[in-house]
Amino acid sequence: MRINAVAFVPSAPLLVPAVAGGSAALDDDLRSAAVDVTRRLHESDEIIVAAPTDHAGEWGSEATWSFAGFGVPRRPSPAGAVLPWSLGIGAWLLEASGWSGPRRYLGIGAEPWSTPAATAGNVGLLVVGDGSSRRTEKAPGHLDDRAAGFDASIARALAGGDPVALGRIDPELATDLMCAGAPVWRWLAAALGDDRPTTADLLVDDARYGVGYFVAGWRFG
């Protein structure tokens, strides 16, 4: 798998305006950044969306999003498989960014991880995942004083183009801090091996709802 670019986005359903409803405008900046960094993958020959899921799995291009659990089913009902919602966020971003090319969806579960089948040409990775969900008292997991430092280390890794640091995320601490993105970030580090991005930038590092949200882009070569 020859990776030419990676985009990091949150797994927040609020990225989808219909899910966010009347408060959608409050997160226009986060949504716009996520769409923009997804669009950077358009120079790839294929895009693979990777996201944490309860069980590992792979879906083809016929699969798509439906946020029926959030009151926003896809209309008309999709003929193909409905993706887990974390992968559905990636599918929605591909549409929002205007991508119509080949794509696959990879659900990352517990180790050991599988590597997607090789493909000809350049592959862009859309990596979906959140940081800690324990950044504030009102966060889903309430406040944990370790969460801010934990998320700061992720932000440094993303800004510095450091997959080794992502691979060193402590899975037990990540579980304590309700960091849903840890498995997919550690999977990415393993998939990259010795490869390092030539450019990296962090567009968003935010915890507006007590959850660590990151938007970042890496480019290789």
CATH number at residue 15: 3.40.830.10
Could you tell me which residues are beta bridge partners of residue 7?
126, 217
**Would you state the pLDDT for residue 74?**
87
Burial of residue 117, with CB atoms counted within 10 A of its CB: 0-12 exposed, 13-18 middle, 19 or more buried: exposed
- Domain-located, residue 168: yes
Q: What is the dihedral sign for C-alpha 92, 98, 100, 101?
A: negative
What domain range includes position 10?
A: 2-204
- Domain-located, residue 16: yes
- Domain-located, residue 106: yes
- Domain-located, residue 215: no
For residue 150, which of 171, 175, 132, 172 has the smallest C-alpha distance? 132
Task: Measure the CA–CA gap between 137 and 44, rounded to whole angstroms.
Answer: 41
**Would you state the pLDDT for residue 118?**
67
- Domain-located, residue 212: no
- Domain-located, residue 218: no
Number of domains in the chain: 1
- Domain-located, residue 175: yes
- Helix/strand/coil (H, E, C) string of 52-120? ECCCCEEECCCCECCEHHHCECCCCCCCCCECCHHHHHHHHHHHHHCCCCCEEEEEECCCCCCCCCCCC
- Domain-located, residue 213: no
What is the residue-level pLDDT of the chain in tens, covering all 221 positions? 799 999 999 999 999 999 999 999 999 999 999 999 999 999 999 999 999 999 899 999 999 999 988 889 888 888 779 999 999 999 999 999 999 999 999 999 877 676 776 677 899 999 999 999 999 999 999 999 999 999 999 999 999 999 999 999 999 999 999 999 999 999 999 999 999 999 999 999 999 999 999 999 999 98
Residue type, 15: L
